[in-house]
Amino acid sequence: MSYEPVIGLEVHLQLSTSTKLFCGCLAKYGAAPNSQTCPVCLGLPGVLPVLNERVMEWGIRVALAVDCQIAQTMKFDRKQYFYPDLPKNYQISQYDRPLAQRGHLDIVADHAPKRIGITRIHLEEDAGKLLHEASQTESYVDFNRTGVPLLEIVSEPDLRSPEEAYQYLIELKAIIEYLAVSTCNMEEGSLRCDTNVSLRRPGASQFGAKVEVKNLNSFKAVKQALAYEIQRQAVALDQGQRIRQETRLWDARALRTEPMRSKEGAADYRYFPEPDLVPFVIDRALIARMKATLPELPAERRRRYQDAYQLSAYDAQVLTQHAALGELFEGALRCGAPPKPAANWIMGDYLAHLNAKNREPESEKLRPEWLAHLIQLVDDGTISGKMAKDLFVQTLERGEDPRRLVEEGGLKQIVDAAALEPIADEVLRKNQRSVEDYLKGKTTAFTHLMGQAMKLSKGKANPQQMAALLKRKLEQVPS
Partner 1 sequence: MALVTPEVIAQVARLARLRLEGPDLTRFTEQLSEILQYVQRLQAVDTERVEPTTHVLPLSNVLRKDEPRPSLPSDTVIALAPAQRPPFVAVPKVIET
Partner 2 sequence: MPVGDLASKTIHELRHMIQAGTVSPPEIVDDLLARIDRLNDSRRIHAYLAVDPERIRRQAADLPASARAGQLYGIPITVKANICVAGEETSCASRILEGFRPPYDATVIERLRRAGAVLIPNANMDEFAFGSSTENSAFGVTRNPRAQDDRVPGGSSGGSAAAVASNMAIAALGSDTGGSIRQPASFCGVLGLKPTYGRVSRYGLVAFASSLDQIGPLAKDAEDAAMLLNVIAGHDERDSTSAPVEVPDYVAALRRPLKDVTIGLPEIPSEGLDQHVRAAVDGAIEVFRTLGVKTVPVELPNIDKAIATYYIIATAEASSNLARYDGVKYGFRAASGGSLTDMYLDTRTQGFGAEAKRRILLGTYVLSQGYYEAYYLKGMKVRTLIKQDFDDAFTACHIVLMPTAPTPAFRLKEKLDDPLQMYLSDIYTISANLAGIPALSVPCGAGPDGLPIGMQLLAAPFQESLLFQAAHAYEQATDWPSRRRNWRSGNAG
Q: Does 287 bind partner 1 (CB under 8 A)?
A: no
Are the beta carbons of 265 and 271 closer than 8 angstroms? no
C-alpha distances out from residue 370 to 191, 315, 346, 354, Å: 31, 21, 12, 17
Binding partner of residue 261 among partner 1, partner 2, none, CB cut-off 5 to 8 Å per kind: partner 1
Phi, psi (rounded to 5 degrees) for 398? -95, -10
Binding partner of residue 90 among partner 1, partner 2, none, CB cut-off 5 to 8 Å per kind: partner 2
Q: Considering beta carbons, is residue 65 or 141 the nearer one to partner 2?
A: 141
The distance of closest approach from Cβ of residue 107 to partner 2 in the complex, given in angstroms and rounded to an integer, is: 36
Which residues, at least 6 apart from 341, have a Cβ–Cβ distance to it below 8 Å? 375, 378, 379
Site size for partner 2 (CB under 8 A): 30
Q: Does 281 bind partner 2 (CB under 8 A)?
A: no
- DSSP one-letter code for 32: P
The distance of closest approach from Cβ of residue 123 to partner 2 in the complex, given in angstroms and rounded to an integer, is: 15
Q: Considering beta carbons, is residue 40 or 428 the nearer one to partner 1?
A: 40
Q: Does 89 bind partner 2 (CB under 8 A)?
A: yes
Q: Binding mask 58-77 vs partner 1 (x if CB under 8 A, - otherwise)? A: ---------------x-x--
Q: Considering beta carbons, is residue 28 or 398 the nearer one to partner 1?
A: 28
Q: Considering beta carbons, is residue 37 or 321 the nearer one to partner 2?
A: 37
Q: Please choose, from the candidates 41, 10, 235, the residue with its C-alpha nearest in 3D space to the C-alpha of residue 142.
A: 41
- DSSP states of 361-421: GGG----HHHHHHHHHHHHTTSS-HHHHHHHHHHHHHHT--HHHHHHHHT---B--HHHHH
365 CB-contact burial (10 Å; exposed 0-12 / middle 13-18 / buried 19+): exposed
Distance CA 186, CA 118 (A): 21
Sign of CA dihedral 278, 102, 9, 177: negative
The distance of closest approach from Cβ of residue 18 to partner 1 in the complex, given in angstroms and rounded to an integer, is: 5
Distance CA 407, CA 369 (A): 17
Strands 191-200 and 4-14: antiparallel
Q: Considering beta carbons, is residue 170 or 277 the nearer one to partner 1?
A: 277
Q: Please choose, from the candidates 398, 323, 407, 411, the residue with its C-alpha nearest in 3D space to the C-alpha of residue 366.
A: 398
The distance of closest approach from Cβ of residue 147 to partner 2 in the complex, given in angstroms and rounded to an integer, is: 14
Q: Considering beta carbons, is residue 51 or 415 the nearer one to partner 2?
A: 51
Are the beta carbons of 401 and 373 closer than 8 angstroms? yes
Tell me which of 30, 275, 441, 478 binds partner 1, using CB under 8 A.
Answer: 275
Distance CA 60, CA 64 (A): 6
Tell me which of 61, 88, 145, 373 binds partner 2, using CB under 8 A.
Answer: 88
Are the beta carbons of 337 and 329 closer than 8 angstroms? no
Q: Considering beta carbons, is residue 260 or 450 the nearer one to partner 1?
A: 260
Q: Among residue numbers 257 through 276, which ones bind partner 2 (CB under 8 A)?
A: 264, 268, 270-272, 275-276
Q: Among residue numbers 24 through 83, which ones bind partner 2 (CB under 8 A)?
A: 39, 42-51, 78, 80, 82
Q: Does 259 bind partner 1 (CB under 8 A)?
A: no
Contacting residues toward partner 2, per CB under 8 A: 39, 42-51, 78, 80, 82, 84, 87-90, 139, 141, 264, 268, 270-272, 275-278
Contacting residues toward partner 1, per CB under 8 A: 17-19, 23-26, 32-39, 42, 44, 50-56, 73, 75, 82, 84, 130-132, 134-143, 260-265, 268, 270, 273, 275, 277-281
